[in-house]
Structures are given as C-alpha cells and as structure tokens.
Amino acid sequence: MKKIISLLLVLTSVFTYAQQTTNNVSVSLKQAIDAGLKNRYDIQAQKYNVAVANNSISKTKKEWIPDVSGSALARYNPQIQATYIPGGFLGPSPPSLVALGAKSVSVFGLDLNQNIFKPAITTDVKIAKNNLAIQQEKNKQDENNIKEEIIKSYLNVLLKELQAKISTNDEQRYKEYLEVAEGKFKLGSLIENDYLKAKLDYENAKLETAKAKQSYSLAIDNVKYQINVPIETQVQLTDSLNSLFVASEQLATKGDANNRTEITQLVLQQEANKLWISKNRQNALPSLGFFANYSQQFTYTNFDYGLHQWWSPFNYLGLKLSVPITSNFKNYNSIQEYRFKSQQTDLALKQKTADINYEIQKASTELSNASKNMQTTKSNYELSQVIYQNQKQQYKIGSLLYSSLLDTDKTLSATEQNYIKSVYDYLLATVNYQKALGNY
C-alpha cells in the first residue's frame, strides 16, 4: 500500500512539473512571429483560399479529359404503335396499319466526347493560375499585417516592462526620501508639512508602480492574443529593447515600391483583365470535338436477356464542329467591361506606386528623426543621472530643500521615460520603414 501511495505521489509530482513546464513559454521576437503565423486561426483559414485556387487549376485542366459515360435504357411497350403501310407495298393489297417492333427494348451503351480544339480551356487554366498567384499575394499581405501587429505588441511589452522598472525605482527613491524626511522630522530639522508631503509622494509613487504593472500585464495578454496561446500561459520575452536595437541596425535599408505585395497584386490583376479579354474573344472561335458510341440492343417480347440471338450491337463515331454566330455581339460588352477594368487597374497601379514611394520617404524621415531623438534623450538621461546623484547627497546632509530635490527627481523620471520611449519609437520606426520597403 505504501509503495502504491509513493508511486502516486511521484506521478503527481511529474504531472505537476510537466504542466508547469507546458504553461511557461519563453519566446524571442522571431519565435513569437512564427508562433503567431502557426497558431492563429485566421491564417489557417486563409490557407484554404490557396488550396481552393490550386484545386481550381486542376479542375480546369481536366476539361481536356475525355467525357466517358454509360447509359442503360429498358422500355416495355404494352401496345406497339402501328405503322402505316402503303397499298401494294407487300404485294397486291390495300393500304393498312401494321404493328412492327418488339414489346421489350433494352439498350446498354458507352458514350465518349473529347474536345479537340477549344482555346478557351487553355485560357481558363491561365486564369486559374493567375487567381492562385493573387490569392498567395493576399495571404502574404495578411501575414505581413499580422507580423506587424505581433512585433508592435512585443515591443509594447518591452516598453511597459521598462516603464514598470522605472516606476519601481521611483517608488524606491521616494521611500528613501520618506525615511530621510522621517528621521529629520523626528530630530526637529524638518517641518511636519514637508514630512507629510514626502509621505504622500511615496504613496503616489506606489500607485504609479501598480498602474505600470497593470499596463505590463495587459501588454503581455495582448502578446498572448496575437500569437494565439491560452491566456493562462506564462509568457516570458527573451529579447530586450537593446538587443532589438542592435539587430535593427543590421536590417536592409534598400527597397522600392515594386517589392510591395500591393503592387504585385495590381500587376496580377492587370494580367487577369487581359486574360479575360482573350477568353471572351476565344468564345467566338469555332470549337471541334470528337464523339463515339458503342451500344448493345436487346429486343424481344419480354426481358429475357439470356436469349443471345436477340442481342444486336451498333456503334458510331464522328466529329462535331461548332461555329458561334452571334457570340461576337454578345462578347462585345464583356470585352469592353474588362477594357474599362484594365484602364482602372492601370490608374490604381500608378496611384499605389506613388502612395508607397511617399510612404517609404515618410518612413525614412521618421526613422532618421527617431534616431536623432534617441541620441539626444540618451545624452539628457546621462546628464540627469549626474545631477540627481549630486543633489541626493546635498539633501542627505541638509544643504538642499526637499522641494528642490523633488523637482530634480521629476525631471529625472521624465528624462528616463523619454529615453525609453525614444528607443521604442526608434524600433517602431524601423518596423514601419521595413514594411514600407516591402522587406517583410
């Protein structure tokens, strides 16, 4: 019994450890992107659009496969229809009605139809392939948008994490201020109002820390949502703003509007318009097909198929030429429609190219500005640290008023926030620039 209990305890421990391990996930930015593209249901659903488009190609190609069908006919005639026989047809006799035929007639046959010349089928295959390429580009665009959202959510977590750390440091500083103020107040070297103000500032700092941690928690939840993992999963980000900052400097900085999937989609749409014009013209061309039939016929008074002498085969084959006569009139409007669409797509392509070129220029300027701002805020942050340390010592020895130290502390906190935000803005500007270049 003791051995069984011990075994159960061991198994419970193993299960608990495995569950904890499963619910704890450490992800880099790249792993987060890969997980999002793998786990998200919208991405999985969109893959079926590609599968459908690919299936359409196979379906269209099968139009060249011969159409073979079997048929079976069994007919019983309770009363055989009479046939008129002219006078003298069977010798010297007057005209009469004679019932000719069998009461049971059965026909079993195979029919074959094969297209020999039908240009529209070849064009249909090209249209199906074009639709597949368009759908692939649409999926690529959707994936790029999701990548962007995952990257932004990942960066937002890192920003909120650092802001929470700053708030925690601020809280610790205000706690130290309160301890110094409390000591001075007890010694009678600080008025009560300054002591109470230090206490209030500490309470406010604790509130700001709590709010910062709440924002961090919400940012983590957003990452879980973006990569579609259970909300109870503990996600730990392995990349930092500094590591991503170093990696961003190595990214490609060259590209043009032609790299963007939006341009590729419009180019493919223009090809589709041309293919539809071609197909409508081909619909007015003659088509040639081959057909054949082989049948076995049974005729008798009943359906006694075992009487072989009443079976008789027959077959035929031939060519069928179809020449459209009024199709040119019907296709005219369809051709005009796709000509209009082609002109519309051409203008849309020119406008989209101009839009993307401006987007690249704008993103490049914003990236340059973000880089300069980051350098400036970094210098300000380093300077504020020096000033803070100097005034902190002055406050401790009593040569600086608490209000003056508080002003310096607020400046320090603002400078810290500005520096962290400038690093985040730089990374975000890098993301926007890479997207504008079409590098992802």
Q: What is the pLDDT of residue 251?
A: 64
Q: What is the pLDDT of residue 410?
A: 75
Q: What is the pLDDT of residue 65?
A: 92
| Of residues 430, 65, 108, the one with CA closest to residue 296 | 108
Q: What is the pLDDT of residue 112?
A: 95
State the 10-residue block means of pLDDT for the chain, 440 residues long: 38 37 79 93 94 94 92 88 73 73 90 93 95 95 93 91 87 85 83 87 93 94 94 90 75 71 95 95 91 94 89 94 84 91 96 93 91 87 79 69 70 81 87 85
Q: Can you tell me the distance from the alpha carbon of 220 to that of 253, in angstroms, rounded to the nearest whole number?
A: 30
- What Rg do the C-alpha atoms of the chain give, in angstroms? 41
Q: Can you tell me the distance from the alpha carbon of 47 to that of 53, in angstroms, rounded to the nearest whole number?
A: 10
The architecture that CATH gives domain 2-39+118-285+324-437 is Up-down Bundle (1.20)
Q: What is the pLDDT of residue 90?
A: 62
Q: What is the pLDDT of residue 21?
A: 43
Q: Which is it for strands 287-300 and 311-322: parallel, antiparallel or unpaired?
A: antiparallel
Q: Can you tell me the distance from the alpha carbon of 216 to that of 283, in angstroms, rounded to the nearest whole number?
A: 63
How far, in whole angstroms, is CA 107 from its chain's centroid?
55
Q: What is the pLDDT of residue 91?
A: 64
**DSSP codes, 269-285:** HHHHHHHHHHHHHHTTS
Q: What is the pLDDT of residue 3?
A: 41
